[in-house]
Amino acid sequence: MNDHPYSFGRTGAVSTIETRNRVLRNTYWLLALSMISMVLGAYVGLVTGFSLFAATSPAMSMLAFFAIAFGFMFPIQKTKDSAAGLFVLLGFTFFMGLMLSHILSFMLGFSNGPSLIMLAFGGTGVIFVSMATIATISKRDFSGLDKWLFMGVIVLLLASVANVFLHLPALMLTASVMAIVIFSAYMLFDVQRVVNGGETNYITATLAIYLDLYNVFVNLLALLGIFGGNRN
């Protein structure tokens, strides 16, 4: 890569609109690669029966997950302006795929598990296309959502940690619905940041949108499993 991550061998001035379009295009391409990496990780997890620290308590497993996940964030930020950032991001999405294999394995225990997984995948896709379209064509500025969404994520994290100890079905359902709403709105916010030029690095843009998609998919899948799962 050249000094500027979006120059790709070009010299001379690039218009603001052209730069934004290139960042958005590269973000979508890298997002597609990230999904492939995640699917590969999920496949490996399913085949090997991967389970993060299965012998430990759920609280320790959650702490281990957060430690590893956030451990990827620093190198992604450090390498976001180089080719190495692509591989670090793909390594992160592979790890997230491994983690996803646990819920996928649970869902496949239902007789209609494969159809529920495809329904969650399709629903996530519909939400993303809808939010991305609104973010691209709307004249409204959604940057004001940032503080509210961040507060929502904090509440969501606290509710999720509390439920590790409380095991309240109602709290789990509420947290899942909240997560779908919050991260769907984050899709709108994150895509518009790229469209409006607020985000000029396609690696960090991809990371943000990927996390939005991942959280919507996982929580949509959980709700479908609760309300639509049929045991064999």
Q: Among residues 202, 201, 197, which one has the least CA distance to residue 16?
A: 197
Q: Give the mean model confidence (pLDDT) for residues 171-199.
A: 92
* Residue 202 belongs to domain spanning: 16-228
User: pLDDT, tens digit, for every residue of 119-140?
Assistant: 999 999 999 999 999 999 988 8
Q: Give the mean model confidence (pLDDT) for residues 172-178.
A: 91
In a domain, 3, yes or no: no
Q: Among residues 148, 145, 34, 43, which one has the least CA distance to residue 91?
A: 34
Helix axes 202-228, 113-137, angle to 10 degrees: 140
In a domain, 28, yes or no: yes
Query: Is the pTM for the entire model greater than 0.85?
Result: yes
Confidence of residue 87 (pLDDT cuts 50, 70, 90): very high
In a domain, 132, yes or no: yes
Overall number of domains in the chain: 1
- Cβ burial of 123 (10 Å; 0-12, 13-18, 19+) is middle
Q: Which residue has the higher pLDDT, 92 or 48?
A: 92
Separation CA 20–CA 16 (nearest Å): 6
Question: At which residue do the structure tokens 């939010």 appear?
Answer: 131
Q: Which two tokens stand for residue 142?
A: 């959604």
In a domain, 109, yes or no: yes
In a domain, 166, yes or no: yes
Helix axes 58-78, 202-228, angle to 10 degrees: 160
User: pLDDT, tens digit, for every residue of 97-108?
Assistant: 998 998 899 899
In a domain, 103, yes or no: yes
In a domain, 6, yes or no: no
Q: Give the mean model confidence (pLDDT) for residues 214-232.
A: 87
In a domain, 108, yes or no: yes
Q: pLDDT at position 232, please?
A: 61
Cβ–Cβ under 8 Å, residues 165 and 224: no
Q: pLDDT at position 59, please?
A: 66
User: Quick check: 11 pLDDT over 70?
Assistant: no
